Structure 1
């Protein structure tokens, strides 16, 4: 294994999001992420407030999504989501994906029934940069970030590419998914 990052704010970790040449892909598998930059907004959402993007997402859009798209790079993700949707996934759709998609991120979802999982898909998160740099994302059971780890094993990198292609092929673009849940977000 390669380098391990213990913070999402690690400068070296964040360099991957500016230095990739062609593609940055994320597989998301959790139904809740517990990250500090979303806590206040998630509480507002749970309280019934309708708001737009928030500082953490605005930063992601301004520092990552828009510069990548302006440079002709593809930034995309697939999130496997259980139905009925968790409060967190509803929040993520309404307060994050709606805005990142508008800015140029290709967000897709694979809806599954609660307790089910798409056959052949991993049940963990990862980033794949330029189809050659694999970073696995590790979270506690409650969605708290634990670590990100660079994977040097060529077989695992090839497998992650296969999973990416499978996930994209099985997924629904966020705008089409959102139409089904417009009143729920």
Structure 2
């Protein structure tokens, strides 16, 4: 494994990028979600769409006001896992803050041969690849600027973005099958 650093060591990228911060989310759930107070509220049937005071949403609003884009594609199983249903429910707050979040079924991602790992792609120049343990805990990230790997991430982004569905539409589709 290449050099892995803590996620905290790359958070400056979420302000320093010039044009686009794009993410592929492939996990069936995230330990950080399950440990959050929002998860407990969601399990109790409470609305979790908005959390306007979160540092993440404040930064998204700030960056998108400057004309930058936050985009992500989330892979979803059929049927969705609890972790994926939570992200569908809570994702609307991110969308309201300015993120463009889209979703696609895992089977479609596999047909497209998308990567099976999470990453952020900044300005089509830097990839931040996540490393997780078996319990979905983030172990750290790998910062990659090697051209072939960045190109592969750009190609994955383009394919995923073309086939993914906006969150609101995807939520309607999921609700109709659950």
TM-score calculated relative to the size of structure 2: 0.88
Compare 30-39 and 74-83 and name the one that shifted more: 30-39
Of 46, 50, 55, which residue of structure 2 is paired with 1:59?
55
- CA distance in structure 2 between the aligned counterparts of 1:2 and 1:110, rounded to whole angstroms: 29
1:83 is aligned to 2:78: yes
- CA distance in structure 1 between the aligned counterparts of 2:5 and 2:161, rounded to whole angstroms: 27
Mark the CA change 1:2 to 1:73 in structure 2 (over 3 Å): closer, same or farther.
farther
Query: Contact between 1:20 and 1:129, CA under 8 Å: does it hold in 2?
Result: yes
1:101 is aligned to 2:98: no
- CA distance in structure 2 between the aligned counterparts of 1:167 and 1:132, rounded to whole angstroms: 18
Residues 47-99 of structure 1, C-alpha deviations (whole Å, 9 max, x = no match): 333344347x8321112x1011101011100011101111111111112x111
> RMSD over aligned Cα, in angstroms?
2.6
Query: Contact between 1:42 and 1:88, CA under 8 Å: does it hold in 2?
Result: no
- The answer for the alignment partner of 1:127 in structure 2 is 120
Query: Contact between 1:2 and 1:151, CA under 8 Å: does it hold in 2?
Result: no
Q: Secondary structure at the match of 2:12?
A: helix
Mark the CA change 1:126 to 1:112 in structure 2 (over 3 Å): closer, same or farther.
closer
* Count of paired positions: 178
* Aligned ranges 1:132-143 → 2 under 5 Å: 132-143=125-136
Question: Structure 1: any 5+ residue segments left out of the alignment?
Answer: none
- CA distance in structure 1 between the aligned counterparts of 2:71 and 2:166, rounded to whole angstroms: 10
Q: Secondary structure at the match of 1:4?
A: coil
Query: Contact between 1:2 and 1:152, CA under 8 Å: does it hold in 2?
Result: no
Q: CA deviation at 1:134?
A: 0.9
Question: Structure 2: any 5+ residue segments left out of the alignment?
Answer: none
Residues 147-182 of structure 1, C-alpha deviations (whole Å, 9 max, x = no match): 111013211111100000000011111121122235
Query: Contact between 2:25 and 2:74, CA under 8 Å: does it hold in 1?
Result: yes
TM-score calculated relative to the size of structure 1: 0.85
